[in-house]
Structure 1
């Protein structure tokens, strides 16, 4: 059985999508803990409602990023984590933290990386006049929103889109591809070679909603 720990900062909707998929499909997993740097994160309420242990580590209580990450590692390792899921965790993690969980920490980003790392991705796609946008699930590396890509999901940009409408469409895609990527991981179907992720047996790693 795989143990999963998730880090959140807000509503944790991707955590909820993963948990519900795991329950519906009877995955051989256990959600051992949810940790947030934000005491007001709504995702903590969902985790508690499902009997998942929760912990708050407010980064403002620590003198440095290194000190916060060391405390975070201690809590995650206490829970035990075969897989560490970042689900809207709004902190840049130190290289030492990422190295500690190398190959078993994944993130979702609301753009078709390498396009638009960082914040305000929906506004950037609209300002650029793109016709498509989407989300990317990737293993976490030391670079911000970098790391080997597991899968991507594409959605169309419509003529009347604004950032909020586009964000809602992308979020639906996130809720589809993030559970898919986690399922591939727990079924040991992913292999990292350099900066490329292969899936065995082969399956499309690019999903499109029309």
Structure 2
């Protein structure tokens, strides 16, 4: 058996599909949600689904910058106490430091709404849809110190249809996320417990 923690910052549509998938999984478990925004809709989705929520609280240092290292140091012992084997980023809108990377080496997954290396970063979905790319899709990758630069685990794509509205393309990308990410997470957990 392997256990994961999902990190999220927003609405939680990917989280909801992951939570449902792991609640049905007889082997693996969703240990908790870690969220950096207490008012994010994902928090209520987790609580309604019976998933514990851990806050990731960022303070500002003397220079006014977010102190990510201290926040990560605070949550790592809680994750260890919950026997978390890997971290799953699903709409988590923060870069992490080596502190968290070293605590979970090669065990942090992220999903990105473009076919990396094209359109990395927070505007990946909008940039992808605004592009002239013939293929749109998603990338699931391991997290490293860069922004969307880690080794690719899986990519899924579709061919654009001429005249499709941007909203339709965005919906197709979200559908790929919702079907692919839970499956890849379960497969990744299989490798950790096997």
Question: Does 1:90 pair with 2:93?
Answer: yes
Question: Does 1:74 pair with 2:77?
Answer: yes
Distance 1:62 1:31, change over 3 A: farther
- Are the equivalent residues in 2 in contact too, given 1:7–1:85 (CA < 8 A)? yes
The number of residues matched between the two structures is 188
Distance 1:75 1:186, change over 3 A: same
TM-score of the superposed pair, with normalisation by structure 1? 0.81
Secondary structure of the structure 1 residue equivalent to 2:5: strand
Partner deviation per Cα, 1:98-122 (whole Å, 9 max, x = no partner): 1221121101011111111102223
Distance 2:81 2:94 in 1: 20
Partner deviation per Cα, 1:80-130 (whole Å, 9 max, x = no partner): 211211111110001232122112110101111111110222332344311
Distance 1:6 1:126, change over 3 A: closer
Greater relative contact order (CA < 8 Å, ≥ 6 in sequence): 2
Question: Which structure has greater strand proportion?
Answer: 1
CA RMSD of aligned residues (A): 2.0
Partner of 2:2: 2
- Structure 2: stretches of 5+ with no match in the other structure: 62-66
Distance 1:53 1:189 in 2: 22
- Are the equivalent residues in 1 in contact too, given 2:35–2:43 (CA < 8 A)? yes
- Structure 1: stretches of 5+ with no match in the other structure: 191-210
Displacement after TM superposition at 1:162 (Å): 4.5
TM-score of the superposed pair, with normalisation by structure 2? 0.87
Displacement after TM superposition at 1:164 (Å): 3.3
Distance 1:126 1:87, change over 3 A: closer
Displacement after TM superposition at 1:43 (Å): 1.2
Partner deviation per Cα, 1:28-62 (whole Å, 9 max, x = no partner): 12222111000111111121112111122232x34
